[in-house]
Amino acid sequence: MLELLFDLCFVVAIAQAAGGLHHAFSHGIGGPAILSFVLVFFAIWWAWMGFTWFASAFDNDDVVYRLLVFVQMVGLLVLAAGVPRGFEEHDFGMITLGYVIMRIGLTGLWLRVAMNDTSMKKTAYRYIIGIVLCQIGWVALLLVPLEFRLWGWLVLLPAELLVPIWAELAGKTKWHAHHISERYGLLTIIVIGESVLAGTLALQAALDTTHLSMALWAAIIGAPTILFALWWLYFLHPSLDESGASRWTFIWAYGHYLIFASAAAVGSGIAVYVDYATHTAHLSTFWAGQTLAIPVALFVALLWIINRVNKQPGSTAYLIGAILCLAAPALPYAPLTIAIILIGLTAYCVRKQSHRAAH
């Protein structure tokens, strides 16, 4: 139950990040916003990753554990409060503070492991050292002029990703494959749910207009169909393959960053297209469609990669579907076109799965 409460706190942060991307695209300044979204979503996702894998390996639920998780939740809310500044003013001070608070909570959890589990002491101390050094780097980066911070990000982001790899070399944590798959699935639902919320709010505002254009009808019909199809496609084969877990764990785990981020960006794309349909977005028809088509195509293409790794049926169809989604904005009413493509892809993959199960 604590994990579910922890996940719900991410609703706020993800909504802030997706909202910032939506407003930037609608005003025709998507370039800088994409970088801000990538960095903010990385902080959100990476904090979730640290807690999720720890909780899977160390199944504890005492008072100290709950309080340290609470520290991480407070840090997440501080981070979420700083997201608007990050998008509008490129001020990442509040985001950094929230991120550091979250990592302090996780460091406390690893310190308990080091003090109480002799078999995992070396691994735990490696996690502690890696996390602390990265946080020192993020705080120091705030002192660097804005125009040079990208170089710091290019160092610190890979460093964060390398900490678990380095730590696990000292001794592997005993995470649970089924639990991890379930946790990833729950976050996928939350992120798609954010897209539902973003699309609903945009459509609610659009329905207050006196004229429902064909473009707006395309969004009204296409948006829920797209989101439902993405959910269906993901959960056809959501699990981490336990037989190949040791080989593909990091690829599967890290690759989901792009799945989660693209799912969140789908909601922004729907909202941008609704703004275009109501003549409040400074975008052409093609680029309004691409704000939706690109994250949908990325989500589907990543499912293709995961299914290739797990040797699932019909994986090539995902790649074809992604390409067709990218081409959809060349036609009128992109949300409806993308929805039709995803309906066909989902039907094909379900049929292939049923055929395989029958044999």
The CATH number linked to 217 is: 1.20.1410
Shared domain for 37 and 118, answered yes or no, is yes
Q: How far is 143 from 146, CA to CA, in rounded Å?
A: 9
3-state secondary structure of 144: coil
Non-local (6+) Cβ contacts of 267 within 8 A are 18, 22, 194, 195, 196, 197, 198, 199
Q: How far is 331 from 333, CA to CA, in rounded Å?
A: 7
Instruction: Check if the beta carbon of residue 304 is closer than 8 Å to that of residue 255.
Output: no
pLDDT value for 204: 74
| Cβ count near 39 (within 10 Å) | 17
Shared domain for 205 and 156, answered yes or no, is no
3-state secondary structure of 275: helix
Q: How far is 276 from 207, CA to CA, in rounded Å?
A: 14
| Cβ count near 161 (within 10 Å) | 15
Q: How far is 247 from 152, CA to CA, in rounded Å?
A: 30
- The two three-digit tokens of residue 82, written as one number: 């700083």
Q: How far is 262 from 264, CA to CA, in rounded Å?
A: 5
| Cβ count near 62 (within 10 Å) | 8
| Cβ count near 223 (within 10 Å) | 29
Shared domain for 148 and 201, answered yes or no, is no
Shared domain for 86 and 225, answered yes or no, is no
pLDDT value for 233: 92
pLDDT value for 209: 63
**Which residue has better confidence, 309 or 349?**
349
Dihedral sign from CA coordinates of 345, 348, 351, 356: negative
Number of structural domains, the chain? 2
Instruction: Check if the beta carbon of residue 299 is closer than 8 Å to that of residue 259.
Output: yes
Shared domain for 113 and 256, answered yes or no, is no
Shared domain for 147 and 203, answered yes or no, is no
Shared domain for 320 and 258, answered yes or no, is yes
Domain boundary at 116, 150, 168, which? 168
3-state secondary structure of 265: helix
Cβ burial, residue 7 (10 Å; 0-12/13-18/19+): middle
pLDDT value for 113: 93
Shared domain for 255 and 302, answered yes or no, is yes
- The two three-digit tokens of residue 173, written as one number: 């944590």
Shared domain for 244 and 148, answered yes or no, is no
What are the pLDDT digits (tens) for 30-82?
677 788 888 888 988 998 999 999 988 887 889 999 999 999 999 989 988 88
3-state secondary structure of 128: helix
Range of the domain at 269: 177-358
| Cβ count near 271 (within 10 Å) | 32
Q: How far is 267 from 202, CA to CA, in rounded Å?
A: 10
What are the pLDDT digits (tens) for 274-292?
888 888 777 888 888 899 9
Shared domain for 163 and 186, answered yes or no, is no
Domain boundary at 168, 200, 221, which? 168
Eight-class DSSP state of 61:
-
Q: Is the pTM of this model over 0.95?
A: no
What are the pLDDT digits (tens) for 293-311?
999 999 999 988 877 666 6
Domain boundary at 143, 168, 193, which? 168
What are the pLDDT digits (tens) for 201-249?
666 766 676 567 888 888 888 888 999 999 999 988 756 655 545 557 7
Eight-class DSSP state of 329:
G
Shared domain for 223 and 156, answered yes or no, is no
Average pLDDT, the chain: 86
Q: How far is 209 from 66, CA to CA, in rounded Å?
A: 48
Q: How far is 211 from 278, CA to CA, in rounded Å?
A: 9
Shared domain for 187 and 138, answered yes or no, is no
What are the pLDDT digits (tens) for 95-137?
999 999 999 999 999 999 999 988 999 999 999 999 999 999 9
